[in-house]
């Protein structure tokens, strides 16, 4: 029997390989491909993605169409802030964040995949951005000192991390006291039929690794964050041809109009200003 560590490492390797492939593809290709570690036979990523094109700082070559929200819109970034983007990809959210943090701010992108880091660095070099940097690393063990970030953002990445509690504990560690995060992610609400969930993972790769919304929010609180708030929530609508494989017409209607489902959420939380939780004084 495989240990949890062995399984986690296998999942990380799958994600690294898949994102390495996605780094070589265009936004249009990725929107009909996948964002997760599952196979890509039937995946349509457009069910997840939000439109960045009207945001200040948007860079088309850095947009690979792999998000499930717009966390920078909700992140309350201020001029001069240090912002860390977890799973920074080709740099899209980092460049949007820089447009808000300004010349006196600093933006650090962390990504697990060599090809994504190379692509992001090339984009930053073309733009001549001196206050945006990209570091290769594991979100469960970030290549950052503690208490350095005013704001942390992430877009459809943490659901792919095997040890979410460790990832949020690391987020807590790197934030300054009084700092905060805003992350967009995929969560589940209620128990999906097993076959439907597997099919959803094939259809939209970011569903792979998603956990229950209540568990997700509980983990955030467990590591010490306060003022945990869902800033935005939207249902991910699977097409009828997928639903019809597992549900009757009446069950499809009930599923579409009920509370059970797959959701994109943008979640905000703060690291307390006082030293009352593990990691506050690290």
Phi, psi for 174 (deg, rounded to 5): -80, -15
Residue 32's alpha-carbon distances to 35, 47, 149, 204, 267, in angstroms, are 10, 10, 34, 9, 26
Better pLDDT: 30 or 138: 138
pLDDT (tens digit per residue) in 107-163: 999 998 888 899 999 999 999 999 999 999 999 999 999 999 999 999 988 988 889
CA 195/CA 190 separation, integer angstroms:
15
Please state the rounded mean pLDDT for residues 226-235: 96
66-70, 122-126, 165-169: range with lowest mean pLDDT: 66-70
The model's confidence at residue 20, banded by pLDDT at 50, 70 and 90, is: very low
According to the model, what pLDDT value does residue 159 have?
A: 84
pTM of the predicted structure, to 2 decimals: 0.82
Query: Does residue 19 have a pLDDT over 60?
Result: no
The model's confidence at residue 214, banded by pLDDT at 50, 70 and 90, is: very high
Query: Does residue 17 have a pLDDT over 60?
Result: no
Topology adopted by domain 4-270: Rossmann fold (3.40.50)
According to the model, what pLDDT value does residue 176 have?
A: 97
According to the model, what pLDDT value does residue 38 have?
A: 38
Please state the rounded mean pLDDT for residues 69-73: 93
Residue 222 CA, chain-centre distance (Å), reads 19
């Amino acid at each position: 029997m495989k240990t949890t560590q062995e399984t986690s490492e296998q999942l990380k390797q799958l994600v690294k390989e898949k994102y390495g492939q996605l780094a070589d593809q265009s936004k249009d290709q990725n929107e009909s491909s996948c964002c997760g570690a599952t196979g890509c036979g039937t995946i349509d990523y457009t069910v997840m993605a939000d439109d960045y094109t009207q945001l200040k700082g948007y860079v088309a070559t850095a947009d690979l169409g792999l998000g499930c929200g717009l966390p920078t819109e909700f992140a309350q970034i201020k001029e001069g802030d240090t912002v860390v983007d977890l799973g920074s990809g080709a740099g899209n959210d980092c460049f949007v964040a820089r447009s808000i943090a300004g010349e006196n701010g600093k933006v650090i992108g962390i990504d697990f995949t060599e090809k994504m880091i190379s692509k992001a660095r090339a984009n930053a070099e073309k733009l001549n951005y001196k206050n945006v940097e990209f570091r290769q690393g594991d979100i469960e063990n970030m290549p950052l000192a503690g208490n350095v970030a005013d704001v942390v953002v992430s877009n459809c990445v943490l659901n792919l991390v095997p040890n979410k509690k460790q990832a949020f504990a690391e987020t807590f560690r790197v934030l300054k006291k009084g700092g905060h995060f805003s992350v967009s992610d995929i969560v589940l609400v209620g128990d999906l039929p097993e076959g439907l969930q597997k099919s959803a993972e094939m259809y939209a790769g970011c569903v792979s690794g998603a956990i229950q919304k209540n568990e997700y929010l509980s983990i955030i609180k467990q590591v010490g964050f306060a003022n945990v708030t869902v800033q935005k929530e939207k249902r991910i609508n699977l097409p009828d041809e997928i639903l019809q494989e597992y549900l009757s017409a009446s069950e499809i209607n009930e599923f579409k109009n009920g509370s059970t489902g797959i959701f994109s959420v943008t979640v905000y939380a703060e690291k307390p200003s006082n030293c009352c939780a593990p990691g506050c004084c690290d």
